[in-house]
């Protein structure tokens, strides 16, 4: 009895032992997990060999989780791709990249040029402010007879060597016959996409033929390279002035027209190339200009004009609004910026003549600059004028 009772008690104890139950369930779970993994591998092999993109594998066992944390009751997807599908996907990606890459590269270049342009302008502004005088370089006294033309022709080079290089880091200076050594290109594209010139004009009278209307000294162009790698062509006027030269007359309307020539105000005009002789050599991209006006209290301007005039004629107040309405980054230029556009009209190719500026003379009058002959004047703000906006 005791033996029988003991045997029965032992059997009962073993049947209820938690360790035995846990080991049994663990073994069962491992078996089911192996079955799960084997089924997945077999189904995956079938899927790939049968070229079926995706096939669901049902698993009904639910007592354990595999090592990925999934219950065996959950569904799994077994996927595969054919070589044709992969090649088609790569082709689509290639086509999309070919379409978007040039635009992306262009945007990156434009941002780089804008940053470099602003930095160059800042360096020029700081350098010009440190120069004691902007006129008088390379000129001779009136009693000099021999070599006078040579002295005038080297004035632009002298302006750089004896003036600008003292206040600005310059790596290389080139005379008119060796401009290519400074990375200055011959052919440049204008803002409207046409050819501005196929060879760099030799002086300001050729660069802007309306300079011939006023007695302005225009020596041959010189060039230099900045420490940052920009190539710069220099047009220089050794007799630039801050005095207004022109006439006044009364119009039939009773308005007094003040007409002044813009040519004598120009002391130096710089045509820069941000990346040397590399492309695209196009105005508004890697090509731009900086103008320095007035021999006293000089102003340095570097407008980036819109590629075209706005359609129609505007009063001066409406002209101010029209530029910001066209694009928030644009504004109506001041009179010095308009002068700079006039000096460099070979690059801008303006289509209109009288253009409004943002420079106000009185509450009823503002400045207008003419692009045909270099006249500028003060007009009533209510009259009509052309508008060429500039970028900030």
Which CATH number goes with the domain that contains 378?
3.10.100.10
pLDDT at 105: 62
Instruction: Decide which of 242 and 22 is more confident.
Output: 242
Asked whether residue 315 is assigned to any structural domain, the reply reads yes
Asked whether residue 247 is assigned to any structural domain, the reply reads no
Q: What is the mean pLDDT of residues 329-333?
A: 96
Asked whether residue 259 is assigned to any structural domain, the reply reads no
Burial class (CB in 10 A: 0-12, 13-18, 19+), 13: exposed
Residue 160 has pLDDT above 70, yes or no: yes
Q: What is the mean pLDDT of residues 102-115?
A: 76
pLDDT at 7: 45
User: Where does a domain end: 18, 53, 80?
Assistant: 80
CA-closest candidate to residue 316, choices 270, 251, 360: 360
Instruction: Decide which of 308 and 3 is more confident.
Output: 308
Residue 381 has pLDDT above 80, yes or no: yes
Q: What is the mean pLDDT of residues 173-184?
A: 95
Domain that holds residue 373: 303-392
pLDDT at 11: 46
pLDDT at 12: 45
Asked whether residue 62 is assigned to any structural domain, the reply reads yes
pLDDT at 159: 96
φ, ψ for residue 138, nearest 5 deg: 80, 5
Asked whether residue 19 is assigned to any structural domain, the reply reads yes
User: Where does a domain end: 49, 80, 111?
Assistant: 80
For the chain, the 3-state helix, strand and coil shares in percent, each to the nearest 5, are: 40, 25, 40
Instruction: Decide which of 344 and 216 is more confident.
Output: 344
CA angle (258, 261, 267) in 5-degree steps: 135
Is the pTM here over 0.85, yes or no? Answer: no
Per-residue pLDDT band at 21 (split at 50, 70, 90): low
Asked whether residue 87 is assigned to any structural domain, the reply reads no
Instruction: Decide which of 147 and 201 is more confident.
Output: 201
For residues 150 and 138, what is the distance between their CA atoms, to the nearest angstrom? 9
Asked whether residue 384 is assigned to any structural domain, the reply reads yes
Contacts of 193-198 with C-beta under 8 Å, sequence gap 24+, read 194/349, 196/283, 196/346, 196/347, 196/349, 197/346
Evaluate whether 284 touches 194 at the Cβ level (below 8 Å).
Answer: no
Residue 221 has pLDDT above 80, yes or no: yes
User: Where does a domain end: 80, 98, 127?
Assistant: 80
pLDDT at 162: 95
Residue 81 has pLDDT above 90, yes or no: no
Asked whether residue 214 is assigned to any structural domain, the reply reads no
pLDDT at 348: 96
Which range has the worst mean pLDDT, 128-137, 146-155, 358-367?
146-155
Q: What percent of the chain has pLDDT over 90?
A: 54
Q: Domain total for the chain?
A: 2
pLDDT at 287: 97
Q: What is the mean pLDDT of residues 214-225?
A: 93
């Amino acid at each position: 009895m005791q033996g029988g009772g003991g045997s029965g008690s032992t059997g009962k104890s073993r049947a209820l032992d938690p360790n035995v139950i846990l080991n049994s369930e663990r073994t069962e779970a491992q078996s089911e997990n192996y079955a799960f993994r084997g089924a997945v591998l077999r189904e995956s092999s079938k899927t790939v060999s049968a070229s079926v993109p995706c096939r669901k594998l049902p698993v009904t066992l639910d007592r354990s989780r595999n090592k990925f944390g999934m219950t065996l009751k959950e569904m799994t997807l077994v996927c595969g791709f054919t070589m044709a599908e992969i090649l088609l996907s790569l082709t689509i990606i290639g086509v999309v990249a070919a379409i978007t890459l040039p635009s992306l590269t262009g945007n990156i270049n434009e941002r780089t040029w804008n940053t470099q342009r602003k930095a160059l302008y800042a360096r020029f502004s700081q350098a010009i402010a440190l120069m004691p005088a902007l006129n008088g370089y390379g000129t001779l006294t009136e009693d000099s007879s021999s070599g006078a033309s040579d002295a005038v022709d080297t004035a632009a080079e002298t302006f750089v060597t004896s003036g600008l290089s003292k206040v600005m880091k310059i790596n290389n200076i080139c005379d008119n016959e060796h401009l290519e050594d400074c990375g200055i290109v011959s052919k440049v594209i204008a803002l409207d996409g046409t050819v501005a010139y196929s060879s760099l004009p030799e002086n300001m009278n050729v660069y802007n033929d309306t300079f011939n209307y006023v007695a302005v000294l225009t020596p041959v162009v010189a060039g230099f390279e900045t420490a940052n790698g920009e190539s710069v062509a220099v047009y220089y006027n050794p007799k630039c002035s801050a005095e207004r030269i022109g006439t006044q007359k009364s119009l039939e309307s009773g308005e007094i027209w003040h007409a002044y020539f813009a040519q004598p105000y120009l002391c130096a005009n710089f045509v820069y190339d941000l990346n040397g002789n590399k492309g695209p050599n196009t105005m508004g991209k890697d090509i731009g200009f900086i103008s320095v006006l007035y021999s006293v209290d000089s102003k340095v301007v570097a407008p980036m004009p819109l590629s075209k005039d706005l359609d129609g004629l505007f009063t001066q107040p409406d002209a101010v609004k029209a530029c910001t309405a066209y694009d928030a980054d644009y504004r109506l230029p001041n009179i010095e910026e308009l002068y700079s556009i006039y000096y460099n009209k070979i690059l801008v190719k303006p289509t209109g003549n009288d253009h409004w500026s943002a420079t106000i003379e009185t509450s009823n009058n503002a400045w207008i600059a003419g692009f045909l002959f270099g006249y500028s004047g003060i007009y009533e703000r209510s009259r009509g004028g052309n508008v060429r906006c500039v970028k900030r």
